[in-house]
Amino acid sequence: MALTDARFLKACRREPVDATPVWFMRQAGRYLPEYRAIRARHTMLEAINTPALAAEITLQPLARFPLDAAIIFSDILLPLIGMGLKLDFVAGEGPQIENPLRAPADIDRLGAPPAEVTVPNTLAAIRLAAAELTPRGIPLIGFAGAPFTLASYAIEGGGSKSYARTKALMYTEPAAWTRLMTKLVTVVGDVLLQQAQAGAAALQVFDSWVGTLGVEDYVRYVQPHNRQLYQKLAAAGAPVINFSTGAGAYLEEVAACGGDVVGVDWRLPLDRAWEKIGLERAIQGNLEPAALLAPWRELKPRVANILRRAGGRPGHIFNLGHGLLPETPVENVRAVADFVHEQTVRAPA
């Protein structure tokens, strides 16, 4: 099968498919014993920055499940290292930045190097994984973090509940905020374009923390920069997925930034979310990740409900509303993938 005929890519183009394509965010990760075996021997950054290991991890879920796409094993924060930040993944705490951005001068010291500098090993891993997947007709997804999400990590130094430092800088130093977002648009845009050049058949932009904002702040401080990013990505020659979490209150404004597919979280029913973004756009989602911890008698009707709300309309890609949890039973991942494929998609009359 030619790669362009893959279910996932056809759904991105809103073409009819024989069954709903399915993949899972964080499908290559901590819920798999084979992944944990690798991580027992290597740190997170070692695994990401060793192309052969990153490619192996990318392929692991494809060996277990009938998934319609792979996603490269990497991390959204990786480009920040090349920009001049000191990042590490601390056990039990997650990503930590040693020298966070706390003043305009810190922002001005940041570089905006090309992808060959910021993510050379990820580009190499994409080439390795794509060489394995493309002959099998399985698309590989490349990805990067959206400017706001990367900015919030860079300013806070890690995760946060309130993102108070990020918002304070945004409000009190708007010119510095614009300079930071402009640098991030440059870096993220090049990372994604070069991933497509390396063999990624689709691209996803993760705005994981943008839901911390209200609609007015989103429109003022984020939307113009996201529009610039998606305009850049039009040159990729690959479908682009615009994914955010917690942004249901302003999903129309998120969708207006661009992207061929809009990924939605579980906080809105799929049909209502699709109406908000426009039925002329493809949609990805949107099972609650924690639902995969439930027994099949509870999980099955939730999956069926999402498919029912999609209504057989072309352009639905089944996924979660965020990434797989580490506690997810492997058998539930297979059960969901099999069940989604068993439901034949028919376009509405």
Residue environment code for 220-253, b if the CB has 16+ CB neighbours within 10 A, otherwise e: ebbbebbebbbebbeebebbbbbbbbbbbebbeb
Q: How many other C-beta atoms can be found within 10 angstroms of the C-beta atom of residue 200? A: 28
Average pLDDT, the chain: 96
Residue 160 pLDDT: 87
What integer pLDDT is reported at residue 1 of this predicted model?
Answer: 73
Closest-CA residue to 315 (of 337, 289, 347, 269)? 347
- Percent of the chain's residues with pLDDT above 90: 95
Task: Give the pLDDT confidence of 274-308 residue by residue, as tens digits.
Answer: 999 999 999 999 999 999 999 999 999 999 999 99
**CA–CA distances in Å: residue 63 to residues 59, 67, 211, 229:** 7, 9, 34, 34
Q: What is the DSSP letter of 41?
A: T
The 10 Å Cβ neighbour count of residue 300 is 14
Sequence-ordered alpha helix ranges (H) in the chain: 7-12, 33-39, 44-49, 51-64, 78-83, 104-109, 115-118, 120-133, 147-156, 164-172, 174-198, 215-217, 223-233, 251-255, 270-277, 296-310, 330-342
Q: What is the pLDDT of residue 161?
A: 86
- The total number of residues shown for the chain amounts to 349
Structural domains of the chain ordered from first start: 27-282 (3.20.20.210)
pLDDT at 122 over 90: yes
* Catalytically annotated residues: 26, 30, 39, 75, 153
The pLDDT of 63-76, averaged and rounded, is 98
Q: Tell me: the pLDDT tens digits for 173-186?
A: 999 999 999 999 99
Q: Is the pLDDT of residue 237 over 70?
A: yes
Grade residue 92 by pLDDT with cuts at 50, 70 and 90: confident
This prediction has a pTM of 0.96
Q: What confidence score (pLDDT) does residue 2 get?
A: 87
